[in-house]
Chain A
Amino acid sequence: MNNPIARTAARLRWAVLAASVLVALLYLSARVGLQVAGTDIEIRSHSAEVFGWRAIADVSMLILLVALFRLSQTLGAIAAGELFSVPMTRRFRSFAFWLMLLALFGFFAPLVAEVIGGRRDGPMLFALDLRQLMLLGITLFLFLLARLMERARELEAEMQEFV
């Protein structure tokens, strides 16, 4: 692990793992109503008005943690020196997939919950969250990045045939 990219990836991996644990603990604290250092922690969701919003928030959190875990695996592979290897690209693509799932779930789950729950008063509510759309756009770009990594691997393999 002597190249700067690998060292940065190793540090970033630890940061991602630490952030994942912290986010999970804070979420759990909020979920069971615990105080952290004398402070109340609260879960806020743009779909808090929607039927079953807590379940939506739980699933979203779970998907986010899986995505972060896959990201940490990707960074781990880079830290091990696998710059454009097949397993690294596969993990990166998996990270993009879980992130896309998170965006799609965040976008459609409140709509489905509205339909299932049914509004007692007034018309159905459709809240368009631009952050979710932005996230979806970013994940699509990540898939393109995965394709670029595959191309880079092909070029790297070709370079190895030069003496």
Chain B
Amino acid sequence: MMSVIVRLDVMLALRKVRSKELAADIGMTEANLSLLKSGKVKGIRFATLEAICERLQCQPGDLLEYEPEEAAG
């Protein structure tokens, strides 16, 4: 289980932006965005992170959160 949790869905809800809209704006496929939202990716490129932060007007820390294994389990 990954200790780094992706909080993209929370930011999308706060900014009232749809996944489809974000995917189109940052030039990413909806399938990949969906994988990112569900945390089913091995990593995220700085370029992708930058594009998301720019579009959602947020910081990387708003999108990613570290949860220690014990707390997560």
Total A residues in contact with B, Cβ cutoff 8 Å: 4
Does any Cβ of A come within 8 Å of B17's Cβ?
A: no
Q: Give per-residue flags for B22-39: 1 if the beta carbon is below 8 A from chain A beta carbons, else 0.
A: 000000100011011000
B18 at the interface (CB under 8 A from A): no
Binds A, one of B40-48, B53-61, B62-70: B40-48
Residues of B within 8 Å of A161, CB to CB, are 41-43
Question: Number of B residues contacting the other chain (C-beta, 8 Å)?
Answer: 11
A115-B23 Cα distance, complex, nearest whole Å: 73
Indicate whether A49 reaches chain B with its CB closer than 8 angstroms: no
CB-CB < 8 A to B48: which residues of A? 163
Residue of A nearest to B43 (CB): A162
A163: chain B residues at CB < 8 Å are 28, 32-33, 35-36, 41, 43-45, 48
A121 within 8 A of B: no
A161 vs B32: C-alpha distance in the bound complex, in angstroms? 9
Residues from 123 to 163 in A contacting B, C-beta threshold 8 Å: 158, 161-163
CA distance A163 to B44 in the complex (A): 5
CA distance A158 to B42 in the complex (A): 8
Query: Which residue of the partner chain A has the closest CB to B49?
Result: A163
Give the Cβ gap from A161 to chain B, nearest Cβ, in Å.
Answer: 4
* Interface of A toward B, CB cutoff 8 Å: 158, 161-163
Binding site for A on B (CB under 8 A): 28, 32-33, 35-36, 41-45, 48
Which 3 A-B pairs give the minimum distances between C-beta atoms?
A161-B42, A162-B43, A163-B32
A-B contact pairs, 9 of them (CB 8 A): A158-B42, A161-B41, A162-B41, A162-B42, A162-B45, A163-B36, A163-B41, A163-B45, A163-B48
